[in-house]
Every structure is written in structure tokens, then in C-alpha cells.
Amino acid sequence: MISLHKELTKILNEEKALLEILFKIVSEERDAIVGLNSVELEKILREKEQTLIKLSLWEEERAKLLAKNGLENTTLSEILNMNNDSPELIQLKELYYSMKTLLNAISEIQRINEQLIDRSIMHIGTAIKFLETFGINAKQSLSKEA
């Protein structure tokens, strides 16, 4: 079990580092949305995608490790609750809670970013309708996916 704890700690440290990067990225994304900086936003979205891919690869590593130790379909919180309070387990718990805090912060910023984008699209749509009243037609249509 000690080997599992050490390997799991290594994987979680990598995931936590990527979550810290993701937190920075979504914060920069918010600034680019507010600043209406589409070029910067595109760059940020590419970085975000790359970071999410790296995170998913570490998630796969964690799943493989758990499967190797007969713990497939077991959540991290279940693993942390089934053992004693060894120093390795305490370190894992600290990592788990700090990652959980980061995920909550990222989720909140992401929710705000989505709201900002929705509002921007609404305002742009209103501006387009206003311009159309003067006979000026938009060359492109709006979509959230763009």
C-alpha cells in the first residue's frame, strides 16, 4: 500500500500542478473576455485545451494505477477513508483537499466566463438589430461555438 501511496502522490502532484496552470488560464480567459481581446482569447483557449488534455492523461495514469492495485471504480475519497492515518495518507489527503479547492475555484471562474460570453453575445445581437434598423446588415451570424 505504501508503493500505491507514493505513486498516487506523484500522480496527484502532477495533476495539482496542471490544475494550478488551469486556474491561471481561466483567470486570463476572463480578462480576455472582459477586454474583448479575441486574439488573446484564441491563444488562451488553445492553452486551456492542451492543459485539459494533459490532465486527462494523468487521470488515465491514476486509473491504471488503481486498476493495477485492484481498486478500479474506487474514488479517491473512498481510498483516503479506507486506510489509517499514516504520514503518506495524510499527505494524500492534503493533496486531495487542495485539488478540490482548486477545482471549485476553476469551476466558479468558468461559470463567470460563460456568463460573460452569454452577455456579450446578447449585447452584440442587440447592436446588430439596432444597425439593421438603419439598413446595415451583418456579414456573419453569431454563435457561442465560434
pLDDT tens string 4-23: 888 999 999 999 999 999 99
Residue 63 pLDDT more than 80?
A: yes
- How far out from the chain centre does Cα 50 lie? 11
pLDDT digits (tens, 9 = 90+) for 83-114: 667 787 888 889 999 999 999 999 999 999 99
Cβ-Cβ contacts under 8 Å for 38 (sequence gap 6 or more): 32
pLDDT of residue 141: 59
**Contact status, residue 131 vs residue 138, Cβ threshold 8 Å:** yes
Q: What rounded mean pLDDT belongs to the chain?
A: 88
**Contact status, residue 22 vs residue 55, Cβ threshold 8 Å:** yes
Q: How confident is the model at residue 143 (pLDDT cuts 50, 70, 90)?
A: low
From the list 118, 61, 51, the residue with the least C-alpha distance to 43 is: 51
Residue 35 pLDDT more than 70?
A: yes
| Rounded distance between C-alpha atoms, residue 88 and residue 75, angstroms | 17
pLDDT of residue 40: 94
Q: Looking at residues 43-71, what average pLDDT do you find?
A: 95
Q: How confident is the model at residue 54 (pLDDT cuts 50, 70, 90)?
A: very high
All structural domains of the chain, each given as residue ranges with its CATH number in brackets, are: 2-132 (1.20.58)
pLDDT of residue 1: 56
The three cell numbers locating residue 17: 500542478
pLDDT of residue 91: 87
Residue 124 pLDDT more than 90?
A: no
DSSP the chain: -HHHHHHHHHHHHHHHHHHHHHHHHHHHHHHHHHTT-HHHHHHHHHHHHHHHHHHHHHHHHHHHHHHHTT-TT--HHHHHHSS---HHHHHHHHHHHHHHHHHHHHHHHHHHHHHHHHHHHHHHHHHHHHHHTTT---SS---TT-
